[in-house]
Amino acid sequence: MSTTSTEQFSIGRVVARAFTAFAGNFIAYALVAVIFVALPTAAVAWVQRDFINAASGAVPGLGMFASPTGWGEWLGIELFHLAMGAAAQATIIYGVTTGLAGRKAGLGEMLSKGLVNWWPIVLISICTSFLSAIGYVLLLVPGIMLSIRWIVSIPTQVMESPGVFASMGRSAELTKGNRWSIFGLIIVAGLIIFAIELVVGLLIAPGIAFARAINSSAFQLIAAPLLSLVITPLFSAGFASLYFELRSTREGVGVESLASVFD
């Protein structure tokens, strides 16, 4: 493996590559988002609606956090969403990598190959989220630094399968020297999210207004699942693109070499 490269890290290249991959196999990625994000999100919102309303009425302002049961439900829901999100990321990252190498993977192949790393990725997500949250609580800056340090832990596990803590360490190694650039990339990503939410919000505003008029929590059945069809594939593609950019600029590794690990 080469350890040098003449190219410098490029935010524009990461974004362009992510959008190219996103558009190149969007139907398959959207189906993954439906299976692992949109449908679970809608199902949770449906199951929760009566509980949320009852809890909100019992203790105004606290909602589902009005009792230990509510806190337990919240934790269970967060872990459920985390597990489903991990499955989506693992599957789409596999598809993006093969796509960048010039081969479009089908949905069945993406699921069978990507989900091999499902549980390690769930554990990575739990570890990085929990430790970063501690940093955010103590002081904002450490939380941001830790989030950037471990930002490519999941693509690392999908591509290299070194294990939970080794993936986190590998991510720290890959991001070293480029963390300010990655921070800039995060800001760009935030602006992209805002633009997507604005456009989708304008398109489905009548439906959301109608849902809110019926039930204050019902709009989650419309807005969140639809947003996930775009945001989940696009940002999974972004993580894969960032991982490839770091491998390429730091180690001189081409995408064909990365994709060959799946052969």
Phi, psi of 25 (to 5 degrees): -145, 45
The residue ranges of the chain whose pLDDT is under 70 are 1-6, 47-71, 74, 200-201, 203-224, 255-263
pLDDT in tens, 66-89: 555 666 776 777 788 888 888 999
Distances (CA, A) of 16 to 138, 181, 213, 237, 244: 35, 15, 40, 10, 13
For the entire predicted model, the pTM comes to 0.80
* Phi-psi category of residue 8: left, alpha or beta, with phi > 0 → left and psi -120 to 50 → alpha: beta
Predicted local confidence at residue 79, as pLDDT: 83
Predicted local confidence at residue 216, as pLDDT: 46
- Number of C-alpha atoms within 13 angstroms, CB side, residue 117? 29
- Number of C-alpha atoms within 13 angstroms, CB side, residue 86? 25
Predicted local confidence at residue 85, as pLDDT: 87
DSSP 178: -
